[in-house]
Amino acid sequence: MNTTFRTIDRPVPGLVSVIVPVHNRLQYLAHAIRSALGQTHRRVEVIVVDDGSPKDPAPVVSQFDDRVRLIRKANGGLASARNFGINHASGEYMLFLDDDDFLEPNALENLFGAIASYPSATWAAGLYDEVTPDGTPILSGPRYLGHGGDVYQSMIHHNLMGAPSTVLALSHTIRTVSAFDETPCFHMAEDYDLWLKLARHSPLAATQQKVTNYRVHGQQFTSNHPTEMARAVLAVLRKHQAIAPPGYEEDFRLTIARFEMELGDCCYLNGEGREARAHWKVAAEGGALGSRARCWRGVRSYLPLPVLRLLRATRKMLRV
């Protein structure tokens, strides 16, 4: 289902506020800031938000010129920190850079080029690489959605953006859609919530150039807590299912069913058999899980946890 978007007046290019929340992780912060200041698009301000961090980021921030500002707040989580940065931002555009990621030198230039070529777009996104802790690209190739325009339907099925710093958006639009939802149940998926809101509001301008790098390391909360991540995504999907325009009922039904299956699998791996079966039931009712697959999962979920661990270890050995 396509949406008709109107052409709007936009300052292209303009001043960009790069918002960098930090909480107790400083080893990559200087690299993130340098990547923002080193853009070929020179009109940049960097706002580092200290989200009640026990480790003071001031010694890192003090290395840079007055284009970098440090603001502080009590700890409230990532959505709260980003919103605090938004409230202090002066730029016509915003980009949200995690403290452990870093931009390509021509990221903003390429993103502005995409927006300029799409008269009704108020946001743009590009490709990203996953990299090792030392910044070496992991051999999977750049990732991203591959198309622009009306991406609302596609976004229901997948968070097309991956890394938040793939996205450059008009500040007025971010504020118009109420920025990041700080409701606790959306924690870890608050960026997905924002992309869905932006996709309803405006078409996306896409560039096939790599614009950022997503650092993969052991301190990342999302990759270490798949159960919580699946719950957060489901909360976002149900929120948007309730407010979606007509015509997207089937898209939400299928995607919610798929994530119910994934959440059930996570619960099963955690030894939470009863909860796993409840989620698999919802997944089956939504069409994401066949009766035989659900039955087999259900049987396994009744096995004691030590037996499950033994079966998994045996299966892993047989695969080697």
The tens digit of pLDDT for each residue in 105-160 reads: 999 999 999 999 988 899 999 999 999 999 898 876 667 666 789 999 999 999 99
In this predicted structure, what is the pLDDT of residue 320?
44
* Intervals of CATH 3.90.550.10 along the chain: 16-221
Taking residues 184-205, report their average pLDDT. 95
pLDDT of 101 over the 80 cut: yes
Q: Using alpha carbons only, what angle is made at residue 53 by residues 50 and 55, rounded to the nearest 5 degrees?
A: 110
**Rounded to two decimals, what is the model's pTM?**
0.89
Question: At 3, is the pLDDT very low, low, confident or very high (cuts 50, 70, 90)?
Answer: low
pLDDT of 286 over the 60 cut: yes
β-sheet bridge partners, residue 46: 18, 68
Q: What are phi and psi of 43, to 5 degrees?
A: -80, 85
In this predicted structure, what is the pLDDT of residue 217?
83
In this predicted structure, what is the pLDDT of residue 5?
72
What CA dihedral angle connects 153, 159, 160 and 164, to 10 degrees? 140
pLDDT of 222 over the 60 cut: no
pLDDT in tens, 297-320: 777 677 776 766 676 566 556 554
Sheet holding 93-96, edge to edge: 68-73, 44-51, 16-22, 93-96, 167-170, 123-131, 204-215, 102-103
pLDDT of 185 over the 60 cut: yes
Q: Can you read off the two tokens belonging to residue 27?
A: 């080893």
What does the buried/exposed string (b/e) look like for 85-113 if buried means 16 or more CB atoms within 10 Å of the residue's CB? bbeebebbbbbbbbbbbbbbebbbbbbbb
pLDDT of 64 over the 60 cut: yes
Decide: 114 and 126 in contact? Cβ < 8 Å. yes
Of 237 and 303, more confident: 237
% of the chain residues with pLDDT over 70: 89
Distance CA 148, CA 209 (A): 13
Taking residues 13-28, report their average pLDDT. 95
Residue 143 DSSP code: B
Specify the range with the lowest mean pLDDT, choosing from 31-35, 234-238, 283-287, 298-302. Answer: 298-302
Query: For 13, left (φ over 0), alpha (ψ -120 to 50), or beta?
Result: beta
In this predicted structure, what is the pLDDT of residue 142?
63
In this predicted structure, what is the pLDDT of residue 266?
87
Tell me what the pLDDT averaged over the chain comes to. Answer: 89
- Cα–Cα separations (whole angstroms), residue 117 to 84, 111, 149, 207, 311: 31, 10, 11, 10, 55
What is the architecture, at CATH level 2, of domain 16-221?
Answer: Alpha-Beta Complex (3.90)
pLDDT of 218 over the 50 cut: yes
